[in-house]
Structure 1
Amino acid sequence: MKKTFIIAATFLYISFFAQKQDTLQVKNIDAVTINGKKKLLLERIADRLIFNVEASIASQGMDGAETLANVPMLKVDDNLGNISITGKSSVNVMINGRMLNLSGTALLNYLKTIRSENIAKIEVITTPPAKYEAQGNSGLINIILKKNQNLGWSGSLNTGLNQRTYSSGNINGTLNYQTEKLSLSLKTGYLDGAKRSVENYTILGASQNYSRSVRKDMWKELTPNLNFSYKLNKNSEIGMEYIYAHEKSGMDIANETKNISSNSTVENLLTNTFHREKNPTHTLSVYYDLKLDSLGKKLSFAGNFFKNNSDTNVNFSTLKQSDNSIQDVKTTSIVAPQVFSLQGDLELPFSFGTIETGLKFNQFKNSTDLQYFNIINNQYISDLQRVNLFEYQEENYAAYFSYAKSFGEHWETKAGIRYENTQAKSFTPSTNLGNHYNYGQWFPSAFVSYKEKKNVFSLSYSRRINRPSMSNLNPFRWYENPYSYSSGNPLLKPSYINNLELGYTYNSKFSASIYYLKLKNGFGQFSLLDGISQIGTYLNYYDNNFYGFNVSYTDKFFKFWETSLSLNGSLTDSKVYNIEAQPQKGHSVSYSFNNTFTLNKNKTLFFFLNYSQDLPYKNVNSSFHNFSNLNSGIKISLMEKQLQINATVTNIFAQKYRGDMYFSDNSQHFNNYWDGRGFRLSVNYILGNNKKKVSTKSINFEEKDRAQ
């Protein structure tokens, strides 16, 4: 109660102070300009849609995750920990072309440490060209940070509070030092948070299973980051980046499971779980860039190394009410993925066009060790039938070639081809079973765009691959109780995606696209019943044909109101195999309405109100219920934008996620609430030297996210 009062008092004081600022003379820029030309909000080139953050009033004073939510076609779901292209599946996120080794909540938490003031633009690449890894479902998001840093010392400090059922807090600091040749940057972030989740899962068939879990998720993470670059001379530069992340996470879970067998026998299980994990990661990246001439020819080399050593301990106690027996169990696991990659890229601009070509090698290793102990009379008795050891190694050899050419002021084209050869093997010592496979695939891409005054048309195509992640492949068992578990499938195969998209942009405000996406050999997770045991696993089980559209419009009315509208829809035709299910005719419709209002003359106080809704939709053998989301808050800029305060209320309606899956012999239903409603308060202060600026380099490391 005291904490809430302090926050409210601070909030009122800041609001009053912002109003007083109206009486002062403050420098404001009504429009972002470059060389006297107004910066366009949206730009469409051959292979991507570009959102210029500086040209969006709604995106000022926001963190990176909130900024992404303002980009047409993108959807950020803080509850699910998911970023996606609306109407399509989840995408991979890059920073300056470097793939982030983060997913879900960890990715969103990282993006919240980035301020919109440090973002130049966001590129939405729905059909990635040959230069990028072919890995990924439906596209890439590339966040381009401002490359110019102040000479001398500069820095920033950001702190935030998120009040849901439990309080969460974070603090991030950045310190930079720049000379004409040397660039040093040290960034450190600390996060301490928790949230409450309620999950209900029901399986109805010849037998029935009702499961309800109330869970408290907790996490603490310290992430120092060191970045260094040095210009050897006017044509060459070397650099490195080292990231250390030490995360401690935990879950306290109370689960109630009721099982009704086909002969009407009822069994109730009550399980309390104590889950704790230490997850230290190391990432080292180095690069060397060489300019071959003054025309832009460039040779680049990069090397990357990633290592993780996750150590998890889980204790759970299960009461079986039919005989009042109690089973106490402890599981320990070590998961140690490791990624190494080398690449070389050559860029050759000529009068007849630009050639890009390169080679890449990456190696992915992982070993896991799960031990299962029954606790009897305070003695730990190993259950050898449930022990799991798993080893996996994958090597990927890739080469690409692309050619780009502009024809006059109107036409821009680009085409490329990428070849990837993958050799993978897995082995389970406990069962003496292994799997080995080798496959090579071509991944073509082609793009063309036409620009005439305010109209821009584009047509793009690319072929992609979605390789299973480590959690998808690993037969490691996550036990909910002694009878129920979920695991990966080492026999899982990659899926392949063909993307074709026609896009249109008008006057940098209106954007529309229609697309066709063909997914082959799709995989996913599902559950089945075996007596009183509920078992979850992964299978390749469907092919999909998607037909969809995206429409968005952003404009400013009455000088104080900026609004952004979007509408998205799709139709899906599916085929299933390996499971007994009848696919449904899929469809989806969603829309959003985001508004930002300027409340004072000097444009230092803003109010925003954002609403989105996903109407009920179907896909393959699943259907999902209506979900709506209303967020609102204020943004305040003080001290000529050096101090910024945001206060936001999220998921005001406290919506739940509900859905159903239908099989030939059963139906499965979920109804979950992941603590979406909350109050967020963040304060960001920028300090630094406004002298001459120089550019910095970011490093590309695309494949390490598969370690998740």
Structure 2
Amino acid sequence: MKIIKTALSTAWACLTLNFAMAQSTGYQITGKITNHNKPIDGATVNLVAAKDSSLIKTLVCSANGSFAFDNIKNGSYFIRITAIGFGNYSGALFNIEDKSINLPVIQLQTTSTELKEVSVAGQKDFVEQKIDRTIVNVNALISNTGANALEVLQKAPGVVVDQDGNITFKGKSGVMVMIDDKPTYLSAANLATYLRSLPSSALDKIELMDNPPAKYDAAGTAGVINIKTKKNTIRGFNASFNSTYGIGFYGRWRESLNMNYRVDKVNIFANISYNYNQTYRKLEIDRDYFHPDGSPDYSFKDISIFRPTNTAYNAKVGADFFVSPNTTWGIVFTGGLFHGRDNSPVYSSFYNTASMLDSAINTQNISRNKFDNGGINLNYSHKFDTTGTALTFDLDYIRDISGSNQTFINNTLYPGGTLINSQTIANDLPAFINIYAAKADFSKPLKNDGKFEAGIKSSYVNTDNTANYFNVADGVSTINYDNTNRFLYKENINAAYLNYNKNFKRFGIQTGLRVENTNGKGHQLGNAQKPDSSFVNHYTNLFPTIYLSYKLDTAGHNTLAGSYGRRIGRASYGQLNPFTDIVDKFTQFRGNPFLRPEFTDQYKLSYSYKSLLNISLLYNYVSDVQNETIFQDGNIFVSTPGNIGYQKNIDLSVNLNLQPTKWWTSNVYAEVYRNRYKGMLYSGEVDQASNSFSGNANNQFTLGKGWSAELSGFFRTGGVSGQFVSIPTGMVNSGLQKKILKDKGALKLSINDMFKTFTPSGRINNIANTNASYHNYLDVRVTTLSFTYSFGKTLNTPPKRKVGSADDEQGRAH
């Protein structure tokens, strides 16, 4: 703790010194914007230098129409103003000469009291680059129409989604996924279920942050993916409806409705969606077994057919109360009901050394699953002055209820089909989780173009997982004590951060320090044949971040940037649960209560030219790497999370935005990366490395008369992830759109994976006396037809802040 106190004291002293220095120079420009002497709320004000018309600063005026530019040097300037429903304004020149200035009241002229209908004003680039994140605009791709959030993520640059829904970013696992700046608090499996139920029509943009600022939780060694949903806060009533039908191996459909109504001091919003989805997947696993001397023993081939049917309802409903021009209270309710069923047969065959069929096992796996969650968020924000000094507060409560009931009927047969043995296993797997989180953030703009931020956060998580297994014979169930257990886990994380940034003429710096204290306690209850067991974890860590940028020219077209950050990857609550989850007779998953957190140090250099080109070089070192590991227990393959050792990752990426013609825009992303894993596994030392390539291309075509089209796709070479070595795969997508109903509606037709080339496959290494490979056939070639209609009347209003105190906890829930 002495080290922590010293580091925090040093950081605070440096920030205080910079704060004091930042108050000493520059002048202020103030003014007020009205229409017929009524203040205009939320107008965008630009301060422009007269000598070269370069933009100096931009801000949004307050609710009473006032604005203030701080720390302005001597010189000649003029003001430009834009606001929805009003004509653009460009003011006269004025001079700053060693004193502040208060401009005369600015009157904007009304162009239209109301916008009769909501309409799309233009097409955003698919990818935008910022100094600390990459922004993906979801609606820029026609082929995203009718897709779900997981499928949209798969098209984002640097993101890989495997056949089980696991997400990696820039060649690394351990990414934290957030929704609207709030963590999802879900295990990998439940997160994949939720994202598959979330329609793309509800999404606005995706933020990819490989090195997030200190304001964000330190969780996620691969960084943060923040999915932002649509929310309007403009005055009046407006809504958007979407209906989609898709056909792949089976049919599927989705409907969603976005609504917003603001009047006077109240803003009410809702996002409601329904999703029915039936998919198909065929998984083949081949295993060859050997004696210790290397001679062949026997072979095993496993074919699993998955045909899950899922129904999902999602809702997000909230209200903002503007109690004064500077104070806002808000409340948000979120909820989801996810129910599914699956009848997944498994056909297992055993072959002798002469490759002759020895025996077979046919398994009927019948399951019913549910995952219901709900949450409430209470938020508060207050602006202390016109400079932007603000305090925000969030209080969250989330409850998840999940469970499944499965029945495994295993029939063992001779080659001729004669029944040898029949075995039936049933289970009931209920799980409950309660999450409480609170955070407060303070921000203070400083003179000389600086900003100071600080915040605190505390969270508490309580989970309860039960695994009830039964052996069923002649209709009578008896408890299977080998697999039955109950696991309780409690965790408290306390955090605080400081962040400071400042821009000079060409040089910019942002630095931050976050401290997190983690306290966890797990308790596995015993049964009639097994004793209790428990564990306790306490640790405190520091997470520094720093960003540097330098403009190579006065216009800022060419920019160099560098950053460093440290992050932590905590195990999900389900991964810490030591119970056994039976996949089939020869495949099981087991948790690991001794799983240690992993830590990553990341260094990044980048060059950007305008918004056209960005080149980045990334280096990561991850210690105590967490990854799925495979070992053999008799004739059963067991998957369990483990700490492998360390991982080194070097990544070179290029992002290019092009416009070859007026009707054709293109985004091209390519990266090459090298992953190396080294450590100890069950069969001894693992030392694997691979060089991989990944590329995305997205082309948009404006055809005229309301028609537009898209051609996109991605390709990935094979790579290494712990014991797993994957082979190349990719897909090509296309889409066609026609705007109708006076541009208020749109019809979209899209085809994903046109040539059916996305087949994730590979091999599994480092299993004693075994060669293993896997091959997936997925239902991803889907043709989708979608109809979207937007309607309503709107008036101007300023944007509302994003809310949520829940950070990484939900992303780890089971």
Same fold (TM over 0.5): yes
1:179 equivalenced with 2:283 (yes/no) = no
The one of 424, 436, 443 equivalent to 2:543 is 443
Match of 2:813 in 1: 707
Q: Does 1:525 align with 2:632?
A: no
In terms of mean alpha carbon deviation, does 140-149 or 187-196 score higher?
A: 140-149
Alpha-carbon distance between aligned partners in 2 of 1:386 and 1:537, rounded to the nearest angstrom: 15
**Aligned partners of 1:259 and 1:532 also within 8 Å:** no
Deviation at 1:584, TM superposition (A): 2.2
2-structure distance, mates of 1:76, 1:110: 18
> Which deviates more from structure 2 when the two are superposed, residues 505-514 or residues 260-269?
260-269
Task: Say whether residues 1:614 and 2:716 are aligned partners.
Answer: yes
More off after superposition, 262-271 vs 189-198: 262-271
Preserved CA contact (<8 Å) 2:127 2:134: no
Compared CA separation, residues 186 and 466, structure 1 to 2 (3 A): same
Give 1:336-415 correspondences, 5 Å limit.
Answer: 336-351=432-447, 353-408=450-505, 410-415=506-511
CA deviation profile, 1:564-593 (whole Å, cap 9, x unmatched): 222210122321213325422221012232
Matches within 5 A, 1:558-573: 558-573=661-676
Q: 1:330 aligns with which of 421, 426, 448?
A: 426
Shift of 1:555: 1.1
Distance 1:530 1:30 in 2: 59
- Partners of 2:238 and 2:154 in 1: how far apart? 28
Q: Match of 2:625, SS?
A: strand
Shift of 1:112: 1.5
Residue type at the aligned position of 1:420? E
Equivalent residue number for residue 222 of structure 1:
313
Partner in structure 1 of residue 26 of structure 2: none
Instruction: Look up the equivalent residue of 1:268 and give its one-letter code.
Output: A
Task: Say whether 1:419 aligns with 2:515.
Answer: yes
Deviations 1:105-135 (A, max 9, x none): 52243251325xxx3x653321011110001
Task: Tell me, yes or no, if structure 1 residue 684 matches structure 2 residue 788.
Answer: yes
After superposition, the Cα gap between the structure-2 partners of 1:387 and 1:68, relative to the gap in structure 1 and judged at 3 Å, is: closer
- Asked if the contact 1:68/1:74 (under 8 Å) is kept, the reply is no
* Distance of 2:148 and 2:422 partners within structure 1: 47
In structure 2, the CA distance between the partners of 1:692 and 1:484, relative to structure 1 (3 Å rule), is: closer
Structure 1 residues 487-566: aligned runs within 5 Å: 487-566=590-669
CA distance in 2, matches of 1:44, 1:113: 24
Q: Does 1:635 align with 2:721?
A: no
Cα 1:336/1:253, change in 2 over 3 Å: same
Give how far 1:638 is off.
1.9
* Partner residue of 2:178 out of 80, 89, 94: 94
Paired with 1:511 and 1:219, the residues of 2 have a C-alpha distance of 40
1:145 Cα deviation after fit: 5.8
In the TM superposition, 1:120-199 aligns within 5 A as 122-143=206-227, 148-199=232-283
Q: 1:89 to 1:484 in 2, by over 3 A?
A: closer
SS of structure 2 residue aligned to 1:128: coil
Q: Deviations over 1:650-680 (max 9, x none)?
A: 1122231111122153232110122111112
Q: Quick one: distance in 1 between partners of 2:412 and 2:192? A: 34
How much does 1:294 deviate? Answer: 2.0
- The verdict on how the C-alpha distance between 1:214 and 1:57 changes in structure 2, with shifts beyond 3 A counting, is closer
What is the CA–CA distance in structure 2 between the aligned matches of 1:246 and 1:30, rounded to whole Å? 35
1:308-323 equivalences under 5 Å are 308-321=400-413
Find out whether 1:596 has 2:700 as its counterpart: yes
Contact (CA 8 Å) 1:317, 1:326: kept in 2 or not?
A: yes
> Partner of 2:130 in structure 1?
44
Supply the distance in 2 between the matched residues of 1:310 and 1:57 (Cα, whole angstroms).
34
Report the residue type matching 1:702 in the other structure.
Answer: D
Distance change (3 Å), C-alpha of 1:426 and 1:298: same
Q: Comparing 86-95 with 287-296, which one deviates more in the overlay?
A: 86-95
SS of 2:373's equivalent in the other structure is strand
Moved more, 338-347 or 121-130: 121-130
| Separation (CA, whole Å) in 2 of partners of 1:676 and 1:543 | 34
**2:500–2:510 contact (8 Å) kept in structure 1:** yes
In the other structure, the counterpart of 1:211 is 302
Shift of 1:154: 1.6
Residue range with higher mean Cα deviation, 517-526 or 609-618 = 609-618
Aligned residue number for residue 194 of structure 2: 106
SS in 1 for 2:202: coil
- Structure-2 change in CA distance of 1:480 and 1:84 (3 Å): closer
**SS of alignment partner, residue 113 of structure 1:** helix
Ranges in structure 1 where 5+ consecutive residues have no aligned partner: 1-26, 33-38
CA contact (8 A) 1:635 1:645 kept: yes
Judged with a 3 Å threshold, the aligned counterparts in structure 2 of structure 1 residues 396 and 239 are, in CA distance, closer, same or farther, namely same
Could you say which structure has the larger radius of gyration? 2
CA contact (8 A) 1:287 1:699 kept: yes
> Conserved in 2, the CA contact under 8 Å of 1:80 and 1:674?
no
Q: How far did residue 389 of structure 1 move?
A: 0.9
Alpha carbons of structure 1 residues 105 and 574: separation in structure 2 relative to 1, 3 Å: same
CA contact (8 A) 1:147 1:695 kept: no
For residues 691 and 587 of structure 2, what CA distance do their matches in structure 1 show?
A: 33
Contact 1:586–1:620 under 8 Å retained in 2: no
Task: Please state how far the C-alpha of 1:512 moved relative to its aligned partner.
Answer: 1.1
Secondary structure of the residue aligned to 2:688 is coil
Write the distance in 1 (CA, Å) between the matches of 2:162 and 2:252: 14
Q: SS of the counterpart of 1:272?
A: strand
Is 1:271 matched with 2:374?
no
Q: Which amino acid aligns with 2:570?
A: R
1:211-267 residue CA offsets vs partner (Å, 9 max, x unmatched)? 210111111111222111101111211111111211101221100123468999944
Aligned to 1:287: 379
TM-score, length of structure 1 as denominator length: 0.88
**Bigger Cα displacement from structure 2, 662-671 vs 95-104:** 95-104
**TM-score, length-normalised on structure 2?**
0.77
Distance 1:641 1:696, change over 3 A: farther
Q: Which string of whole-angstrom CA distances, capped at 9 and with x for unpartnered residues, describes residues 407-446 of structure 1?
A: 12x2221101111111111111113111111111111100
- The residue type paired with residue 275 of structure 1 is S
Q: Residue 541 of structure 1 contacts residue 579 of structure 1 at CA under 8 Å; is this kept in 2?
A: no
Shift of 1:481: 3.5
Q: 1:605 to 1:444 in 2, by over 3 A?
A: same
CA distance in 1, matches of 2:507, 2:126: 19
Following the alignment from structure 1 to structure 2, what is the Cα–Cα distance between the partners of residues 561 and 334? 52
Q: What's the CA shift string for 1:287-316, capped at 9, x where partnerless?
A: 111212222111111111111111311112
Paired letter, 2:713 = Y
- C-alpha displacement of 1:147: 6.2
Matched position secondary structure for 2:548: strand
Q: Answer with 95-104 or 320-329: which moved more.
A: 95-104
Q: 1:13: which partner in 2?
A: none
SS in structure 2 at match of 1:324: strand
Q: Matched residues, percent identical?
A: 23
Aligned to 1:16: none
The amino acid that maps onto 1:132 is: Y
Separation in 2, partners of 1:262, 1:359: 64
Q: Which segment is superposed worse, 285-294 or 434-443?
A: 285-294
RMSD of equivalent CA atoms: 2.7
> In the alignment, what sits opposite 1:21?
none
What is the CA-CA distance between 1:332 and the residue it aligns to? 0.6
